[in-house]
């Protein structure tokens, strides 16, 4: 029956809902007058005189305009707040006072006397009928205490005004049913907040079983990163999905819809402290300059481009070898309309194409993000990795130097530190190429800055384990790790892009910057945490049935158990940004780089992979920074 009434009300046009509501109020106020006389005289059918009929008809004529003025017909009854009772009381009080004025004028004309108790009865009965009807409709529309079959029971973690607002919004949207709120403050336990019972999170395992809860939504935007990490960790192993709502700053910035609930990002569980970007550094390096990004369609390159356009450069040149990737990022950036965006399809190993792009558009600063980064793939395709990562970087850096580009920034990797794989070795060669170019510019007295920015893994980037783990979890597992004891540094792709640009603004030429990556993360723990965040249990010796298994596949060629960020941490100097460190560039090593490049090029041209690998790693062995004694 209630479902049928709800369907009728919901399908009715707004205009007819208001007509029915006004009609009801008219009938309810006339009935309130009749009931007031009946209570006063203690009879079921009081005598209906002309004066009483007149006063009964006058009640809605007086009250309805007041109700309209105070917004009683503008409110959507499904979302009627409990505080609406005060508006109803105010409206009825005003209507009763004006009705008493009519009664007084009637008595002054000698047309009868109204007992003094009738106005009090009229106010009480009218308020009950007018307000009661509205809240009854609200209950019908929001009926769910018995929980429909399509509703999923959830808890909201947090006992604040925003938590109540979220619960109210969920009650009218979707198929989530809010069982109650969770809060660690013992003063709140057992109390009702906005109509929702507040529970102790310590009892969550029992509450989940009792109510069949499938999801917990975090409403904890005011908590610190460490405290938030602690809360997520405490509930991530309970077999429920964990989601969150946007921070208030995200709502103000327009990043999310007000009622949007999103998945917990794995970087929230890592607990990295957030340092807002310095607008002075960003503006100094980007504003009113022509910027070129190689590898603009890749994960790092595209995020750099998204950041760069926000600072309205003179123009942004997108240099990319992948046609589809270039098309996608070009379409996205063109839609912003913030600055001219020019897509250039070409390879970084094609010198003439690189030179055309730089000369034609008079590039001021170049971010070199193009590279092959997937360790096993580059290991299996060593010659291609060498040609792209080393010769491509040499080509772009050479053209940038010759065309007098003011700032050149290489995007490097932590795998360049004492590399054990081809990808890491090629990135170290790229760093040395850039440092030698910086030395050459310094010797010639040129005001050109060549620098490299080195950091670890970026969450969600192409080749990252995080998207792979997500896909495997969505398919029901198993989640594969090569070695659960491997440790890697992680940061979000947005933070990486912001720090890269800020580091480039700090360059003095020949720098290798390190982005502060926090503490390394054990890959086995990362996999297990992602399984728990998705609402599954980890299948292991303690839980052999159900859940998702973490399967160890064995280390791949070239993989290191631990990654490093600096050759010598004692050589790291602080900068004005707390998350950016600088290597001492006062003694740039003079290595026989040109001769080594010629030998490597000859081996690559002959497709002699064994010789190329030998040259690749033996030259790095000549690097003073690569001394194992510094490890």
Structure confidence by residue, pLDDT tens digits, 174-222: 677 788 888 888 887 877 676 678 888 888 888 887 777 878 888 766 5
In CATH, 279-624 is 3.30.420.10: no
Query: What is the Cα–Cα distance from 622 to 404, expressed in whole angstroms?
Result: 30
Structure confidence by residue, pLDDT tens digits, 51-102: 888 888 889 999 999 988 888 887 767 656 677 888 899 999 999 999 999 8
Q: What is the pLDDT of the chain when averaged over all its residues?
A: 81
How do the domains of the chain map onto residue ranges?
2-141, 152-264, 279-624
Q: For the domain 152-264, what is the CATH superfamily, name and number?
A: NAD(P)-binding Rossmann-like Domain (3.40.50.720)
Question: Taking residues 478-504, what's their average pLDDT?
Answer: 83
- So what's the pLDDT on residue 269? 57
Question: Taking residues 113-125, what's their average pLDDT?
Answer: 88
Structure confidence by residue, pLDDT tens digits, 336-347: 888 999 999 999
Question: Are 319 and 370 in contact, with CB atoms under 8 Å apart?
Answer: yes
Query: What is the Cα–Cα distance from 469 to 528, expressed in whole angstroms?
Result: 10
Structure tokens at 274: 């957030």
Cis preceding linkage at 53, omega within 30? no
The distance of Cα 625 from the centroid of its chain, to the nearest Å, equals 39
User: Does the model's pTM come out above 0.75?
Assistant: no
Structure confidence by residue, pLDDT tens digits, 314-328: 999 999 999 999 999
Contacts (Cβ under 8 Å, ≥6 apart) of 23: none
| pLDDT tops 90 at residue 235 | no
- So what's the pLDDT on residue 254? 45
Check the CA dihedral 90-93-99-105 and report its sign: negative
Structure tokens at 548: 């998702």
Integer angstrom CA distances of residue 55 from 90, 121, 209? 21, 14, 59
Structure tokens at 483: 């070695």
Question: Taking residues 466-490, what's their average pLDDT?
Answer: 80
Question: How is residue 391 annotated by DSSP?
Answer: I
- Paired with 343 in beta bridges are 318
- So what's the pLDDT on residue 5? 66
- So what's the pLDDT on residue 258? 41
- So what's the pLDDT on residue 147? 47
Structure confidence by residue, pLDDT tens digits, 353-374: 999 999 999 999 999 999 998 8
Domains 152-264 and 279-624 share a fold: yes
| pLDDT tops 70 at residue 562 | no
Contacts (Cβ under 8 Å, ≥6 apart) of 454: 412, 413, 414, 416, 417, 431, 512, 513, 514, 515, 565
């Amino acid at each position: 029956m209630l479902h049928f009434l709800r369907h009728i009300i919901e399908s009715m046009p707004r205009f007819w809902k208001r007509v029915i509501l006004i009609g009801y109020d008219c009938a309810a106020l006339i009935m309130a007058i009749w009931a007031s006389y009946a209570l006063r005289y203690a009879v079921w059918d009081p005598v209906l005189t002309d004066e009483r009929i007149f006063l009964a008809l006058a009640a809605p004529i007086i009250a309805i305009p007041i109700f309209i003025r105070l917004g009683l017909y503008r409110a959507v009854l499904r979302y009627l707040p409990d505080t609406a009772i005060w508006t109803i009381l105010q409206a009825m009080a005003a209507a009763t006072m004006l009705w008493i004025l009519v009664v007084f004028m009637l008595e002054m004309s000698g047309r009868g006397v109204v007992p003094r108790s009738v106005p009090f009865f009229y106010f009480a009965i009218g308020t009950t009928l007018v307000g009661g009807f509205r809240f009854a409709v609200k209950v019908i529309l929001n009926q769910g205490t018995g929980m429909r079959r399509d509703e999923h029971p959830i808890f909201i973690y947090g006992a604040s005004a925003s938590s109540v607002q979220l619960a109210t919004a969920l009650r009218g949207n979707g198929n989530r049913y809010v069982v109650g709120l969770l809060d660690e403050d013992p003063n709140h336990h057992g109390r009702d907040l906005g109509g929702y019972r507040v529970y102790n999170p310590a009892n969550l395992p029992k509450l989940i079983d009792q109510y069949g809860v499938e999801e917990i939504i975090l409403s904890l935007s005011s908590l610190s990163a460490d405290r938030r990490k602690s809360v997520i960790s405490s509930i991530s192993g309970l077999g429920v999905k964990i989601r969150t709502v946007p921070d208030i700053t995200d709502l103000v910035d327009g990043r999310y819809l007000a009622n949007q609930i999103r998945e917990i990002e794995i970087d929230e569980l890592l607990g990295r402290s957030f340092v807002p970007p310095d607008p002075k550094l960003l503006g100094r390096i980007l504003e009113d300059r022509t910027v070129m990004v190689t590898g603009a369609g890749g994960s790092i390159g595209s995020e750099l481009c998204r950041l760069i356009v926000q600072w309205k450069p003179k123009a942004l040149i997108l240099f990319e070898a992948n046609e589809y990737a270039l098309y996608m990022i070009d379409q996205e950036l063109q839609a912003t309309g913030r600055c001219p965006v020019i897509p250039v399809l070409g390879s970084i190993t094609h010198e003439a194409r690189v030179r055309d792009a730089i000369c034609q558009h008079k590039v001021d600063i170049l971010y070199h993000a193009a590279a092959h980064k997937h360790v096993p793939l580059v290991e299996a395709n060593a010659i291609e990795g060498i040609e792209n990562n080393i010769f491509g970087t040499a080509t772009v850096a050479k053209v940038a130097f010759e065309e007098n580009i003011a700032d050149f920034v290489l995007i490097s990797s932590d795998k360049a530190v004492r590399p054990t794989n081809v990808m890491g070795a090629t990135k170290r060669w790229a760093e040395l190429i850039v440092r030698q170019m910086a030395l050459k510019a310094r010797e010639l007295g040129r005001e050109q800055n060549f620098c490299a920015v080195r950091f670890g893994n970026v969450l969600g980037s192409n080749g990252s384990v995080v998207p792979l783990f997500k896909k495997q979890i969505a398919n029901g597992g198993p989640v594969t790790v090569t070695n659960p004891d491997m440790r890697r540094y992680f940061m979000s792709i947005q933070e990486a892009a912001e720090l890269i640009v800020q580091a480039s603004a700090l360059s003095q030429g020949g720098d290798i910057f390190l982005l502060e990556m926090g503490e390394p993360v054990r890959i086995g723990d990362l996999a297990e945490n992602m399984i728990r965040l998705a609402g599954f249990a980890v299948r292991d010796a303690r839980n052999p049935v159900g859940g998702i298994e973490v399967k160890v596949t064995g280390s791949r060629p070239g993989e290191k158990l631990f990654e490093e960020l600096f050759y010598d941490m004692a050589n790291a100097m602080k900068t004005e940004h707390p998350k950016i460190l600088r290597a001492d560039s006062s003694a740039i090593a003079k290595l026989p780089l040109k001769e080594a490049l010629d030998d490597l090029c000859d081996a690559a041209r002959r497709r002699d992979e064994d010789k190329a690998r030998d040259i690749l790693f033996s030259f790095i062995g000549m690097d003073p920074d690569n001394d194992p004694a510094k490890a």
